[in-house]
Amino acid sequence: MKKLFIVAVILFTSFGKTFAQNADQVRGVWLNSDRDVKIEIYKAGDKYFGKITWTRDMYEPDGKTLKKDIYNSDERLRNRSVVNMVILSGFSYDDGEWTGGEIYNPRNGKTYRSKMH
């Protein structure tokens, strides 16, 4: 699996039972284990989402143009920027874990069903 896909798993498994009492404590900006991607996790309604806010390699070689979602299976979305892209979506919190969500990996253009605990 690609590193970005593992981001959510690493973030949430390292917290252990910390969130058992308060699901909203997951909100905030987190670095992945390789420290090359920051993801802001937020709540909208009763669901949790996460978007990329920074990557170490966020610009094209020109140093000005943000990297694009070039591997997306939907050609219409390939021109969108990776920065501010929602990659975690639709997670609900129940009894110590977040379920029913998906994670999108812009490094390969694939979306995976996911649960976090």
What distance in Å separates the CA atoms of residue 11 and residue 92, rounded to the nearest whole number?
16
pTM: predicted TM-score of the whole model, two decimal places? 0.78
Q: What pLDDT, in 10s, does the model give residues 18-60?
A: 444 588 888 999 998 889 999 999 999 999 999 999 999 999 9
How distant, in Å, are the alpha carbons of 42, 65, 98 from that of 80? 21, 11, 27
Q: Residue 6 — pLDDT band, cuts 50, 70, 90?
A: very low
Residues written for the chain: 117
Contacts 24+ apart (CB under 8 A), 35-43: 36/3, 37/3, 37/4, 37/7, 39/7, 39/8, 39/11, 39/87, 39/88, 41/11, 41/88
- Select 3-116's CATH number: 1.25.40.10, 3.30.390.30, 3.40.50.300, 2.40.128.520: 2.40.128.520
CB 7 within 8 A of CB 41: no
**Which pLDDT value is given to residue 55?**
95
Residues 6+ away with beta carbon under 8 Å from 16: none
What local confidence, expressed as pLDDT, does residue 115 receive?
A: 84
